Amino acid sequence: MPSRKISDVTTLKKMTLHEARLCCIPIRHDGDVLGHLVPIGPWIIDDWDVIGQISQWRAQAMRMFLTQFESTPEKTTAYLTNRSVGDDDRILFMIEVEGEFLGHVGLASIAQTTAELDNLMRGMSGGSPELMEASERTTVEWAFTALNLESLYLRILSYNFMAKTIHERLGFVTTQRLPLRREEMPDSTILVECEASEATVSYTLDVMVLERAAFLAD
């Protein structure tokens, strides 16, 4: 039987877009609502406009990912179908402001006590300057309260300074700096964790952790 946490997540992912908007999570900052987190589900697979947006966003931010390839709507559809929608331990929220999707943020590897903060991305300008930090804070708060997780972690390339600054302001602390080896594949480039002696790039994959007690005490 799936855990209560997974059941909560899969329920959100079974909704239509209309239902998802009715159950969306307000993104709050200093008492103001800046936008909403809309959980994606099968509705997104047939929305080629949104898929095209997400594909373009990924292309623009490709160097911030461990796997780097030519982003296309077809590859984005496959990823959303198999991972964001298909994986029971994963959820992706679209960041919506006044009816327009400006980015996304999610959780992956959701377990009994922890999960990975994943896919924080601003794809388009608009909304408040505080939108992305507030979106991450809202996601973190939801994970700690609605899912009752005890900790969150994330993995980020060390040169992604802008995102790291947001994470640090929310209380995430770097606990590991993992060496990487760059591997060229026929249709992609992959950065692989390795021993320090095998590293072929100067940057690292940094692991950052946030405990619920520290977040809620802030």
34 token code pair: 């800046």
Read off the pLDDT band of 128 (50, 70, 90): very high
Quote the percentage of the chain above a pLDDT of 90: 93
pLDDT at 1 (0 to 100): 34
Q: Would you state the structure tokens that stand for residue 165, as one six-digit string?
A: 């600054």
**Looking at residue 27, which CATH number applies to its domain?**
3.40.630.30
Number of domains in the chain: 1
- The answer, yes or no, to whether residue 7 has pLDDT greater than 80, is no
The domain in which residue 86 lies consists of 4-217
Q: What is the DSSP string of the chain?
A: ---HHHHHHHHHTTS-HHHHHHT-EEEEETTEEEEEEEE--GGGGG-HHHHHHHHHHHHHTGGGSSEEE---HHHHHHHIIIIIIT-TT-EEEEEEETTEEEEEEEEES--SSEEEEEEEEE-S--S-TTHHHHHHHHHHHHHHHTS--SEEEEEEETT-HHHHHHHHHHT-EEEEEE-EEEEE-SSEEEEEE--GGG--SS--EEEEEEEHHHHHH-
Give the model's pLDDT for residue 2.
42
Q: How far is it, in rounded angstroms, from Cα 173 to Cα 153?
A: 9
- How many residues are given for the chain? 218
Q: Residue 130: pLDDT above 60?
A: yes
Give residue-wise pLDDT tens across range 38-51: 999 999 999 999 99
User: Stretch 25-31: mean pLDDT, rounded?
Assistant: 95
pLDDT tens string 147-193: 999 999 999 999 999 999 999 999 999 999 999 999 999 999 999 99
pLDDT band at 8 (very low <50, low <70, confident <90, very high): confident
Does this model's pTM top 0.85? My answer is: yes
